[in-house]
Structure 1
């Protein structure tokens, strides 16, 4: 039982020792690491702390964009060797001071990690910087076709925060660029159409705050445009209606009116109709025959020639 208890105590002791060692190492690493924020166009100098006489100094730069950059200084030859470093990064030497790294007119391409290693008679020393480069946005303010103020904070890093005065409803959108900057576009939509309003766009950014004012939404212009559009639409509708009416009358006016004729019915001939048509002729023949017989009888009785007429 005692052996098991001793083992547990020893295990806890080792665990606590390892934990304290890790914490100490992290604190030392954090003590030798610094965060540095610079604005585009500014300059800065980075120092590397050490003790004793310097033998060798090396700066290693790992930017977010581009290749690795190194600057090595040897005290015995007093020469500096550099590889793939931009022209605005150099070592500067000051009397009684160790060489320092100078960054002139920093750009977005210089953002990254900067590590310094020094070898001296007192030992080796290390210093690390994490450089963040911020870019102030370019502010522009204008009025769109509807008469609403539009504010643009272009190519800012980090993205700018836009606000309006007086307060009102607005819409915002962001456009990201390949170099890490962001353009923020905000449109103010609470503009009154009764009076001319002066609105102010305010830009909040770590590199500096900005503001601009503009007067948009002139009521006369908006009313005039609306009235003009309404007149144009009305005229177009009237013209279309007239053309449709003209076309209709032209299409139907050239056609003569034709009354519908009843279907022709073939006359029906009956036997009675044929009899009625024949009877007058029969009667006429009968009368002729009677007259002829009478004349013949008279001629025979008087012994007259048949070709002579009585009384001739």
Structure 2
């Protein structure tokens, strides 16, 4: 082999080992993706895929022919065709995000190709009313952070909070600080959405959710007061009734009724006695009514 050919091979080998092409791939949680290696595997000696994750964990899949050695999850599969190799990932999770590097070893050297996988998470959206009675829109556990806007627009009255969760997702909360609007629409846009999500709140409640307890408590107090007034009024009526009955007992115990019942009999007796006394005083009555023995 000529000197320049040897130099070319050495230079090519140098490039193959130390120079890696990096490309990116974007997938969504729960989906599947295929990562492709650009280098040919014709006449390969060994094919290896190495996975390095942001948490510094790593794994590999390697083959020299028909046998595959691995310590990666079984959701990850190594595929070989006539000219290319690829890596298939099923049911993607957030922890799958990282760098995936293929290594092709053949008689001319070792070639590397790296794919940087970014995993997105679609947020779920909810619109509610906060403790102040203002509309509140949340894009929960999205990755990256979702963008929230309102219709009608009012930038001076909108406040936004962003919270990063332990799993790397982001929750965005936007509050529309007004109670004057009768209809507002929350609009959420995100890279995982083919079109923005719109959530409409047509009627704002008069009382915020956080104040419901005060409404219930106030209603209970009013009810107890009304019940107390009613019972006091009923008790007063009962006392009046008892007082009347005490002052006016039934006829069996009423002296007036007894007098009224006795007086006619007394008057009748007095009248009969008077008449009898008058008859007794008459001489003719005595003479006429003498006993036969007295006449003899």
Shared topology, TM-score over 0.5? yes
Q: Which residue in 1 is equivalent to 2:230?
A: none
* TM-score when normalising by structure 1: 0.56
Q: Distance in 1 between matches of 2:91 and 2:56?
A: 17
Bigger RCO (CA 8 Å, 6+ sep): 2
Structure 1 stretches (4+) deviating beyond 3 angstroms?
Answer: none
Is 1:113 aligned with 2:103? Answer: no
Q: Distance in 1 between matches of 2:22 and 2:68?
A: 24
Q: Which residue in 2 is equivalent to 1:39?
A: 28
For the pair shown, which has the larger CA radius of gyration, 1 or 2? 1
**1:243-277 deviations in whole A, cap 9, x for unaligned?**
xxxxxxxxxxxxxxxxxxxxxxxxxxxxxxxxxxx
Q: Which residue in 1 is equivalent to 2:160?
A: 172
Q: Which residue in 1 is equivalent to 2:174?
A: 186
CA positional deviation for 1:125? 1.4
Q: Cα–Cα, structure 1 residues 189 and 121, in superposed 2: closer, same or farther, change >3 Å?
A: same
SS of aligned partner of 2:95: helix
Q: Distance in 2 between matches of 1:212 and 1:154?
A: 14
* TM-score when normalising by structure 2: 0.59
The answer (yes or no) to whether the contact 2:187–2:197 under 8 Å persists in 1 is yes
Structure 1 gap segments, 5+ residues each: 1-24, 236-312
Match of 1:92 among 79, 86, 91: 79
The answer (yes or no) to whether the contact 1:138–1:155 under 8 Å persists in 2 is yes
CA positional deviation for 1:180? 0.9
- Root mean square deviation, CA, Å: 2.9
Question: In the comparison of the two structures, how many residue pairs are matched?
Answer: 195
CA positional deviation for 1:115? 0.8
**TM alignment of 1:242-261, pairs within 5 A:** none
Is 1:127 aligned with 2:117? Answer: no
CA positional deviation for 1:190? 2.4
Structure 2 gap segments, 5+ residues each: 1-14, 222-296
Q: Which residue in 1 is equivalent to 2:8?
A: none
**TM alignment of 1:227-238, pairs within 5 A:** none
The answer (yes or no) to whether the contact 1:143–1:216 under 8 Å persists in 2 is no
Q: Which residue in 1 is equivalent to 2:204?
A: 217
